[in-house]
Amino acid sequence: MSVIPFGLKPRLERMAKDIDILFDTWLKVPSDSRARLYEAMRHAAIGGGKRLRPMLVVASSELFNVDRDRAMRVGFAVECIHVYSLIHDDLPCMDDDDLRRGRPTVHKAFDEATAVLAGDCLLALAFEILGEEATHPDAFVRAELMAELARASGPSGMGGGQMMDLAAEHQELDLPAVTRLQHLKTGALFAFCVEAGAIMARVPAEHRTHLRGYARDLGLAFQIADDLLDVEGDEEEAGKRLGKDAEAGKATFVSLLGVDRARQQADMLVQQAIDHLQSFGKEADTLRAIARFTIERTH
Amino acid sequence: MSVIPFGLKPRLERMAKDIDILFDTWLKVPSDSRARLYEAMRHAAIGGGKRLRPMLVVASSELFNVDRDRAMRVGFAVECIHVYSLIHDDLPCMDDDDLRRGRPTVHKAFDEATAVLAGDCLLALAFEILGEEATHPDAFVRAELMAELARASGPSGMGGGQMMDLAAEHQELDLPAVTRLQHLKTGALFAFCVEAGAIMARVPAEHRTHLRGYARDLGLAFQIADDLLDVEGDEEEAGKRLGKDAEAGKATFVSLLGVDRARQQADMLVQQAIDHLQSFGKEADTLRAIARFTIERTH
């Protein structure tokens, strides 16, 4: 059982339901030969996942009284990016995983070509969603959301981090190198989520320093927790194969620091993340709860 | 030797050079372990291709006196999408091609994982480019460009068309089905290119009917020409394997209509495309020349 900070659990449950509804609405299966593509996207997207990224978008939007429906659309777009990255990461030429969220991965349940396309289409779909006026009536905001999400996803963000991760199988990374890899691979998208509320409220970039600090520390804490779960977690609860990093001889926070120091480091980062929110009152409580949740979760 | 309508040849040559410069600038190889990713994107993107899509964007921008530098950025973004689609289409799980533009495909020159990632990153990069203020000072225009490009690339556009194409190996398609497949697979991106000039000039969607008509006919003519080259073309000049559709038993315009009727159909479509431009004067001459070029090209 996961230990979820008081108040966050029902919110995560509601989020899971709302995101499933959005996927179901956007991915209605067409009555032509694209049906298989939509089925594959639905297989990967619906009914699983912590939905932590959309939760971050909604929580950051609460700081600035941004309308929840709009925040949900942005969170949904980020989740499209996240799901696309999982589908491609699971491919035989990448991590070669058969199981994800307790179900066969897309290339197992369908085939590799469909998996590649399903990922591609979810990536494009994210920008389709953000581009609609319903996301935000102000075109400046829509343009900034799309530009920032593109940066967070591409070669200077998640895509570049994934390349570093592939290269890590043939290299001996030290702590700064692993930290940089993770800042790109998971941190960039986290940072987008946390800044999204401020973008929607048109808070200028120079006033988002605290939020970026929060996102940076949260992202690393999340990754250390992931590394710990890869070593100590329960495969059934995780719904995926564990122990892969050690098997591949990849340097992680845990292999470099050891279990105990890694856990201390994660605790410290969470405290630091929460400290960045000092200038906010109760409206930042969800972000604080999310920070604690990242290291207390069991999958 | 290609027969290129008078005046278009030097413009295509200039375009090829300018697009290479843009790729070279945007894809500077970083001095970290992402280097391989950037090398792979450069391998696929630089030094080859007809650059027909950016040419369409620049030509459509001339109708409305849009600044060439801005049009070039949009054309460049479309070319990123086009190159990404070629990298993924060539993968072993898709068309399994070893040669593209006379060089080894990305998964051959590098490896499959890098090829998947290089495609993903070019897709994200397209939106990064469009999102910058240098593309257009008006955020409304940037937002519309990104939204429309996303639609043209995703499951209702190119991505969906590619799925239909995969499914076509197990189906007997008739002419309407092949037409619909091609409208999605190649037509959607062509339509974006042709409308891009109007979007940048803030011409409302309801006044773009003629341009959409031109794009629709042009896209089909282009595809029929491609099908004819697949049957009759020269592999060395094409720089890729030909005769694949017949080998896979896929229905094409040529298999359904025969060579002669397919050629007549393409001629007719080009005339129709040019007719859509009647309300324009000399400023549409490049679009007219491009229409003729699509069926007179030899690769």
Per-residue burial over B168-198, b if 16 or more Cβ lie within 10 Å, else e, is beeeebeeebbebbbbbbbbbbbbbbbbbbb
Question: Residues 176-205, chain B: which have Cβ within 8 Å of A?
Answer: 180-181
Answer yes or no: is pLDDT of B3 > 90: no
* Ranges in chain A, pLDDT < 50: 1-2
DSSP assignment of A128-162 equals: HHHHSTTT-S-HHHHHHHHHHHHHHHSTTTHHHHH
Tell me whether A148 touches chain B (CB under 8 Å).
yes
Q: pLDDT at position B298, please? A: 67
Q: Cβ–Cβ of B128/A163 closer than 8 Å?
A: no
Q: Which residues contact A189 (CB under 8 A, 6 or more apart)?
A: A53, A78, A81, A82, A152, A153, A157, A158
Model confidence pLDDT, tens digit, residues A149-204: 999 999 999 999 999 999 988 888 999 999 999 999 999 999 999 999 999 999 98
Q: How far is CA B204 from CA A170, B59, B63, in A?
A: 53, 18, 14
Single-letter amino acid code for the residue at A218: L
User: Domain map of chain B by residue range?
Assistant: 8-296
Predicted pLDDT at A1 = 41
- Does residue B122 sit in helix, strand or coil? helix
The confidence score (pLDDT) of residue A171 equals: 85
Query: Measured between beta carbons, which residues in chain A are less than 8 angstroms from residue B93?
Result: 111-113, 116
Strand A99-100 to B103-104 pairing: unpaired
Residues of chain A contacting B28 with CB distance shorter than 8 Å: none
B113 → closest Cβ in A32, A94, A125: A94
What does the pLDDT read at residue B1? 40
pLDDT digits (tens, 9 = 90+) for B112-136: 999 999 999 999 999 999 999 999 9
Residue with tokens 């792979």: B40
Would you say domain B8-296 falls under CATH 1.10.630.10? no
B72-90 pLDDT, tens digit per residue, is 999 999 999 999 999 999 9
Pick left, alpha or beta for residue A51 (phi over 0 → left; psi -120 to 50 → alpha; otherwise beta).
Answer: left
What percent of chain B is modeled with pLDDT above 90?
83
Report the residue from B113, B127, B157 with minimal CB separation from A166: B113
Q: How far is A30 from chain B (nearest CA, A)?
A: 10
Q: Which of B27, B114, B128, B136 has the highest number of chain A CBs within 10 A, making it the mutation to test binding with A?
A: B128
Q: What is the pLDDT of residues B225-270, one digit of tens each?
A: 999 998 887 777 777 777 777 777 888 999 999 999 999 999 999 9
| Cβ-nearest to B125 among A116, A149, A155 | A155
* Block residue for tokens 């297989």: A43
* Contact state of A124 with B155 under an 8 Å Cβ cutoff: yes
Instruction: Write down the pLDDT at residue A298.
Output: 67
Q: In Å, how far is B11's CA from the nearest CA of chain A? A: 30
A256 touches chain B (CB under 8 A): no
Q: Is A154 on the interface with B (CB under 8 A)?
A: yes
- What ipTM does this complex have? 0.95
- Using an 8 Å CB-CB cutoff, list chain A residues near B139: 139-140, 142-144
Q: Which of residues 10-39 of B touch A (CB under 8 A)?
A: 30, 32-34, 36-38
Taking 50 as the threshold, does the pLDDT of residue B44 lie above it? yes
Closest CA to B257 of B284, B298, B291, B223: B223
User: Is B171 close to A33, i.e. CB distance below 8 A?
Assistant: yes
B131:A119 CB<8 A:
no
Length of chain A: 299
B71 alpha carbon, distance to own chain's centre = 15
Residues 104-123 of B with CB under 8 A from A: 111-114, 116-117, 119-121, 123
**Is B142 in Cβ contact with A114 (below 8 Å)?**
no
pLDDT of residue A85: 98
Question: Is the Cβ–Cβ distance between B187 and B220 less than 8 Å?
Answer: yes
**pLDDT, mean over chain B:** 93
What is the band of B192 on the pLDDT scale with cuts at 50, 70, 90?
very high
